[in-house]
Amino acid sequence: MTRAGIQRLLITAAAVLALEASCRLGYVGRATMIPPSEMLAELVRLMGTDGFWSQIGFTLRNILAAAAAAMVAGFAGGVALHALPRVRRAVEPLIASYYALPFFVLYPLFIVLLGMNALPIIAMGFLYAVMAMVTATLSGLDRIPPVLRKVGRTYRLDRVQDALLIQLPAAGPHIFTGVKLALSYSVTGVIGAEFILAGSGLGYSIAFAYNNLQDRTMYALLLFVVVFVSSLTVLLHWAEQRVRHRSGAGRVGAARDTAGAGEKLVAAAVIALLILGGWQLFHGLAGDEALASPAVTLNRMTVLFGNPSFWENVAETAKALGLSLLISCIGGGLAGVLIGANRALSDVLEPLFVTLYAIPKVTLYPVILLLFGLGMPAKVAFGTLHGFIPMMLVTMGAIRAMNPVLRRSARAMRLTRMQMLTAVLVPATVPEIVTGLRISFSITLLGVMVGEMFASKRGLGFMIMNGISVNDTATMMSVTVLIGLFALAVNSALLALDNRMHRVA
C-alpha cells in the first residue's frame, strides 16, 4: 500500500474512533446517533436474519440492470452526439442542467408505463446514470489526438476498423470513467428511489426503519451502504487509475463550443418542440393520473403565478439555494485551493472525498433530520452536502493541474504564500473554478429540492412532494418544469461563461 493510502486509512480510523468516543461520552446524544461499534454489531445480527440478503439481492439486481442499460444507451448517445455536432451544441445546456432535475416526479409515470414491479426503480437508476455515461463518452471521443485518426488513414482502415482499432481504445480510459460513474450513479439512483418510493430493497428498508423508530436497524443499514459504496468506489478508482496510467489518457484538450447565436436558437427551438411532443405522447399513453399534459401544466402554472403562497415557496427555496450555494461555492472553492496547493495533502484526501461523495445522499436524510430538525438548516445542510465536495474537487484538480512553471515563476519573483495564492493560483485556475461553479450549481439545486421534499413543510421541493402524495400531477409537473427552466437558464449563462473562459485561457 502507498504512503498516501496508509495515511487515508489512519484518517478514516481516527474519524471512526472520534465518532465512537463522541457517542460513548455523550457529546452526541443516543437519540441522534449510536456508536459505530453498535452499528457494526447490529449489522452482523441483521446479516443472520432471513430477509436481509433477499433485500440486498433485489437492490443489487436493480443496480446492475440500471447500470448496464445506462452504459449501453449512454455510450450510443455519446457516439451519436459526437457525430452530430449541431445537435450536440443545441443540447449542451440541457446536458449541463440534467442533474438539477428531480427525476422522482416521473415515478408515477413509470409505474403506469412499466407496471408495479422493479422496472420503475431500474428506470430511476438508469435516468440517474445515463447522462454520466453520455458525457464521459463525449469527453473520450473529444480527446482522441487528431494525429491518431491520420495514422488510421495511412493504414487505409475503413470506418469500422478505425472505430474498433483506434477510436475506441483511444477513448477507452474516459469511457471507463463513464462506466465507473454509471455504476456509482446507478447505486445512488436505485437506493434513492427505493428509499423514497418503493416497497422493497435496501433503500426501502432504511426508510422503513426510520419511520418505525428503529434507529439501530437504520444505522446498521446505513453502515452497510457506506461500506458497500466505499468498497465499490475504491475498487473502481483503482481500476480507473490502472487504465489511465497505462494509456496516458487526456493528452489533448476537449472541444469547445463555437456555434453562432442564430444556429443555437433554431436548434433550441427544435429540441423544445421535440420535448413537448414526447411529453404529449407519454401523456396520451399514461393518462392524467400519471402525467399531466403540457397544456394542463401550463394552465396550472398561470394559476400558481397568481397565488401568493406559491411566491412564498419560491422565496423559501431561493433563500435555501442562496445560502447553500454560498457555503458550497465559497467554502468548497477555498478548501479546494488550500488542499490543492499542497500536493501531498491532496493525494491523501482526494480519494477520501470522492468516496464520501459517492454515498447515496438521500439515505443520509434521517441523520440530517436528527442533527438539524425540520426547516431551513436541514435544507441548507442537504444542499451543501451535495454541492460542497464537487466544487472542492474541481478546484483542487485545477490547482494540481496548473502549469508548474507558473508556481516556479512566482517563487523566482519571491512572492509570499498569500501573494502566490491571490496573484497566481486563483487567476490561473479561474476557468476551472467557473466549471466547478456550474457543476456545483446544478447539484446544489437538486440537494435543496431533495431537502425540501423530506426535511421541510415549505418551498418548491415540498410542493412537488405534496403533489406526489395527493397525486396532483399538474402542480408536480408545473413546479418541476419551472425548476428545470431556471436550471437551464442559469446553466446556459454559466456554460457560455465557461466556454469563453476556456477560450481565453
Partner 1 sequence: MRGLSSERAPAPQDPAGASHPAHPIPFGRAPSSNGLAAGAHAVMTGVTRVFGSAVHALGPVDLELRRGEFFSIVGPSGCGKSTLLDVLAGLSSPTDGTITFEGKRVRGTVPDGVGVVFQEDASFPWLTVRDNIGFGLRRAGFRGPEAEERVRHAIDFMGLNDFAGAYPNQLSGGMRQRVCIARTLVMRPRLVLLDEPFGALDQQTRLLMGDELLRLWRASGATVLLITHALDEAAMLSDRIGVMSSRPGRFIEIVETGWPRDRTSAIAAEPAFGEVTTRLWNTLREESLKAMASQRRVAG
| Contacts with partner 1, residue ranges (CB under 8 A) | 145, 147-148, 150-151, 153-157, 161, 165-166, 169-170, 172, 245-249, 251
CA distance 502 to 505: 5
In angstroms, give the least distance from the CB of 150 to partner 1.
Answer: 6
In angstroms, give the least distance from the CB of 236 to partner 1.
Answer: 19
Can you tell me whether residue 201 is helix, strand or coil?
A: coil
Q: Among 32, 35, 16, 13, which residue's Cα sits nearest to residue 24? A: 35
Residues 462/479, Cβ–Cβ less than 8 Å:
no
CA distance 29 to 37: 15
Pick 153 or 411: Cβ nearer partner 1: 153
Pick 150 or 414: Cβ nearer partner 1: 150
At 436, the amino acid letter reads G
- Residues near 141 by beta carbon (within 8 Å), at least 6 away in sequence: 78, 79, 82, 167, 171
Q: For cell 415515478, what's the residue?
A: 107
Pick 169 or 277: Cβ nearer partner 1: 169
Pick 167 or 429: Cβ nearer partner 1: 167
Helix axes 473-504, 430-455, angle to 10 degrees: 170
In angstroms, give the least distance from the CB of 241 to partner 1.
Answer: 13
Q: Among 476, 450, 457, which residue's Cα sits nearest to residue 108? A: 476
Pick 49 or 154: Cβ nearer partner 1: 154
Alpha helices in 197-259 (DSSP H): 202-211, 215-247
Pick 247 or 342: Cβ nearer partner 1: 247
In angstroms, give the least distance from the CB of 297 to partner 1.
Answer: 46
CA distances from 343 to 283, 330, 347, 445 (A): 53, 21, 6, 31
In angstroms, give the least distance from the CB of 143 to partner 1.
Answer: 11
Pick 250 or 322: Cβ nearer partner 1: 250
In angstroms, give the least distance from the CB of 4 to partner 1.
Answer: 21
In angstroms, give the least distance from the CB of 134 to partner 1.
Answer: 22
